[in-house]
Amino acid sequence: MYNYIEHGKGATAVSTHQEDPEKYAEFMERIEAGEKIEADDWMPDEYRQTLIKLISMHGISEIMGALPEKEWVPKAPSLKRKLGIMAKVQDEMGHGQLLLRVAEDLMAPYGKDREDIMQDLLRGDLKFHNVFHMATKSWADAGLIGWLVDGAAIITQTNMLDASYGPYQRALQRICAEEVFHAQHGEAIIMALAEGTEEQKAMLQDALNRWWPALLMFFGPPTAETTGSSKQEATIKYRIRKSTNEGLRQAYLDKYLPRIFSLGLTVPDETIHYDEEKKKWIYQQPDWNEFKQIISNNGPRSQARLRLRKIAHENSAWVREALATPVVTA
């Protein structure tokens, strides 16, 4: 789900592998031939670290992403909707578990595990996705997350279904299959509102207006110059994903803008249009400085959601302690 990977803090660079030009060449040959790399195969440190950053952020974003939606479980307008959103929240936690397992196996040579991931998150060293820092103000937001946020996630995740790293790619097959349910769950909510009363239509338009910049930001900045850093080159070089941030954003606009317009909705950008010659959407850039602020945990709901995660982690610490097998020392 996550496309923007920062350099800097986070999983620290510990070089446990002697870089070996011969092994590197063999590795590149394998991934270029479409072979999959497994956890115990030799891999360059840059590959391992790119994967750790990408997958731990993806995993933790799934978990943090369950929080804005769970706010709507008690307030869902019918039992059917309540069950649907509950199932989705549980799926997101399941996706988080899958992805954290993949990240943990990659981190094992550095002596790091799940507790380190959680502590990195709570300390602010591990970022989570910009969209999950935002408030979910109305029921339309809950529908919009399923339709357009998960839609954006589907675009980025399907782009990695052939990823060179075997365990990640296998996790994504399962995740993408479940995203189909999420998307349709969201569409059903949106469709009811779009064809509902004037008040419901207004609520939906208001939600889209508020979410639009965050949806554009979802794919990350077009180039490293925009925000100072981006690892999109490494993920493409190592065949983890196929498209650039901008390529994915364009694909998203291709697929979703006609649908948005078909529901009688507008986006808060009067300049947006498709340039037939350049074969791409021309749109107003979101405020990338704001993006940096948001993912640095200074977004509208960043601190509240981190606090919720921290409390949950602390409140369940006694369970982990009680269930831990006693260490027998001689």
Partner 1 sequence: MAENEKKATFYKTYEVFSRKNDKSHAQHQFSLLAPNEEIALAMAQENFMRREDVIDVWVVARDNIRKMTSEERKQWTKRLDNKDYRNTKGYGYLRKKWREKEQEMLDEKEILSWKEVARK
Interface contacts to partner 1, rule CB under 8 A: 38, 40-42, 87, 90-91, 94, 97-98, 101, 104-105, 113-115, 170-171, 174, 178, 320-321, 323-327, 329
Of 79 and 323, nearer to partner 1 (C-beta) is 323
Minimum CB separation from partner 1 for residue 106, in Å?
13
Minimum CB separation from partner 1 for residue 93, in Å?
9
DSSP string, 188-207: HHHHHHHTS-HHHHHHHHHH
Of 124 and 166, nearer to partner 1 (C-beta) is 166
Of 164 and 244, nearer to partner 1 (C-beta) is 164
* 147 contacts 190 by C-beta, under 8 angstroms: yes
Vertex 76 angle, CA 75 and 80, to 5°: 150
Minimum CB separation from partner 1 for residue 107, in Å?
12
| Residues in Cβ contact with 199 at an 8 Å cutoff, skipping those fewer than 6 apart | none
How far is Cα 31 from Cα 37, in angstroms, rounded to an integer?
Answer: 7
Minimum CB separation from partner 1 for residue 315, in Å?
16
Of 107 and 217, nearer to partner 1 (C-beta) is 107
Minimum CB separation from partner 1 for residue 172, in Å?
12
The stretches of the chain forming alpha helices (DSSP H) are 21-32, 45-70, 79-107, 114-123, 139-144, 150-158, 166-194, 198-217, 224-227, 232-237, 245-262, 288-293, 302-315, 317-323
| Residues in Cβ contact with 302 at an 8 Å cutoff, skipping those fewer than 6 apart | 133, 294
Q: b/e string for 205-228 if b means 16 or more Cβ within 10 A? A: bebbebbbbbbbbbbbbbeeebbe
Of 116 and 246, nearer to partner 1 (C-beta) is 116
Report phi then psi at 280, rounded to 5.
-155, 160
Minimum CB separation from partner 1 for residue 76, in Å?
19
Minimum CB separation from partner 1 for residue 211, in Å?
28
- Helix, strand, or coil (residue 275): strand
Of 38 and 233, nearer to partner 1 (C-beta) is 38
Of 271 and 325, nearer to partner 1 (C-beta) is 325
